[in-house]
């Protein structure tokens, strides 16, 4: 009879994700990951060659989950809905959201770069997501993709919504209702596709 592995790669990836979400990258040592799973430390090395390997696998899993929630909406040109989709995604899996949205890759991989296969997988994920993003921008305008429209779209779909929810991810608990309203108002006030003679309006004085 074939003996099945007691501890799967998924178990270690989930443990690493939770540890980073709760205590930052420094909390996700190999020993801490093993303790979280209830496995001997040596069993991790049967599946991951290094700490960098398991953290990069966790990053890819979180990033794939995030892009999976947004990319279908982006391909349909639904920029506002894509931005709002960040809210249920982050509420459904708060640990994964904290892992991805509160940390930068440079802090996760400062000890060593990710192994080549994991890095290549991330590049494939990023290329696919960028393609969906650019398709969304093109669909909202005249079919072209101008630098200004890319900047507007990044701000409206990613930068602003993530900046709005970050303080609440740090505190924990449900997102307040006004977060959705703020994202709605941003999209109503700043369209992605600007007309050629539409200048940038100065910010009102505080």
pLDDT digits (tens, 9 = 90+) for 55-79: 999 999 999 999 999 999 999 999 9
**pLDDT tens-digit profile of 188-198?**
988 886 554 44
The structure's pTM equals: 0.87
Residue 194 has a pLDDT of 59
Identify which of 47, 49, 60 has the alpha carbon closest to the alpha carbon of residue 12: 47
CA distance 62 to 55: 11
Read off the pLDDT of each residue in 116-123 and give the average, rounded to a whole number.
94
Q: What pLDDT digit, counting tens, does each position of 2-25 carry?
A: 344 578 899 999 999 999 999 999
For the chain, percent of residues with pLDDT exceeding 90: 71
For 137, counting Cβ atoms within 10 Å of its Cβ (0-12 exposed, 13-18 middle, 19+ buried), the class is buried
| Average pLDDT value over all residues in the chain | 88
């Amino acid at each position: 009879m074939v003996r099945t592995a007691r501890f799967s790669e998924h178990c270690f990836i989930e443990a690493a994700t939770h540890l980073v979400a709760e205590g930052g990258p420094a909390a996700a040592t190999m020993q801490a990951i093993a303790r979280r799973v209830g496995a001997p430390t040596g069993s991790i090395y049967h599946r991951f060659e290094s700490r960098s390997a398991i953290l990069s696998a966790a990053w890819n899993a979180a990033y794939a989950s995030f892009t999976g929630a947004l990319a279908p909406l982006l391909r349909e040109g639904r920029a506002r809905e894509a931005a709002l989709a960040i809210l249920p995604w982050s509420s459904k899996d708060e640990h994964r959201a904290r892992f991805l949205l509160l940390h930068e890759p440079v802090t996760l991989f400062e000890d060593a770069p990710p192994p080549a296969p994991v890095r290549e997988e991330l590049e494939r994920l990023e290329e696919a997501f960028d393609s969906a993003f650019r398709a969304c921008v093109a669909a909202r305008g005249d079919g072209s993709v101008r630098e200004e429209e890319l900047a507007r779209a990044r701000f409206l779909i990613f930068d602003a919504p993530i900046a709005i929810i970050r303080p609440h991810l740090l505190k924990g608990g449900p997102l307040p209702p006004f977060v959705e309203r703020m994202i709605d108002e941003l999209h109503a006030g700043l369209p992605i596709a600007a007309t050629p003679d539409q200048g940038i309006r100065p910010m009102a004085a505080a």
